Amino acid sequence: MTDLSVSNGAAAALVPPPDREEIWLQPPRHRIERRSVGWWLVRGALTVAVVVGALVAAYVLAEPARPWVGPVLIGASVLGVAHLAVVPLWRYAVHRWEATEEAVYVRSGWFVREWRVAPISRIQTVDTVRGPLQQLFGLATVAVTTASAHGAIYLVGLDHRVAADLTTELTRITQATPGDAT
């Protein structure tokens, strides 16, 4: 049995499937890191700041545009604050992940929930991505690439140590798994 433990005492990241040959569908059982809320908040705040800043510059510099830029500026500011108040917590609430020796499961989505499953035998690459903000928050994203037309599966908001261990473990499992990886 393969078991990845995280420093905060979360459950194992990889568990064997029940005594069956086929892959069984299950809800992913791991939450992403709580620090992801801060990461999404900062990313959103930077986006809102750029949009509102551009509108403020247009309002100040373009005298003829003021009648329409003012209401747009107010609307963008209100929507930006609402976005920052709701989106990071909502994303934290809906994102889940799990990796077993049979498949990688990811659930995400807002109003439409997306539940993606990548069988281990179909995995082509496993990558870890850590942008500057993710590094600041100690987070990483694991990208599991298959030959699917839907693209890679992204496990966002993982602790960077868990992501590194998961990448290593998935690489080990995929190398040992027979299949065509297409």
> Secondary structure of the chain: what % helix, strand, coil (to 5)?
45, 25, 30
Could you tell me if residue 51 is inside a domain?
A: yes
Query: Is 20 exposed, middle or buried (CB count within 10 Å of its CB: 0-12, 13-18, 19+)?
Result: exposed
Residue 124 falls within a domain, yes or no?
yes
Determine whether 104 is exposed, middle or buried from the number of CB atoms within 10 Å of its CB (0-12, 13-18, 19+). buried
Does residue 109 contact residue 27 with C-beta atoms inside 8 Å?
no
* CA distances, 9 to each of 1, 4, 167, 178 (Å): 18, 10, 19, 33
pLDDT band at residue 6 using 50, 70 and 90 as cut-offs: very low
Q: Are residues 107 and 151 in the same domain?
A: yes
> Is residue 2 domain-resident?
no
* Mean pLDDT value across the chain: 84
Q: Is the pLDDT of residue 41 over 90?
A: yes
Token pair recorded at residue 90: 């909502």
- Residue 62 structure tokens: 């373009």
Q: Is the pLDDT of residue 2 over 50?
A: no
Can you read off the two tokens belonging to residue 154?
Answer: 């992204």
Q: Are residues 171 and 103 in the same domain?
A: yes
Does residue 148 share a domain with residue 82?
no
Answer yes or no: are the C-beta atoms of 30 and 13 closer than 8 Å. yes
Each residue's pLDDT tens digit, 46-96: 999 999 999 999 999 988 888 899 999 999 999 999 999 999 999 999 999
Burial class (CB in 10 A: 0-12, 13-18, 19+), 22: exposed
**DSSP 8-state class, residue 120:** G
- Number of structural domains the chain divides into: 2
Can you give the pLDDT at residue 15? Answer: 47
* Structural domain ending residue among the three candidates 72, 90, 108: 90
Range of the domain at 70: 37-90
Instruction: Provide mean pLDDT across the span 145-151.
Output: 84
Residues 114 and 150 in one domain: yes
8 within a domain of the structure (yes/no): no
Give pLDDT, residue 156. Answer: 93
Closest CA to 41 of 68, 73, 74, 80: 80
Q: Are residues 75 and 112 in the same domain?
A: no
Does residue 112 sit in the same domain as residue 165?
yes
| Percent over 90 (pLDDT), the chain | 58
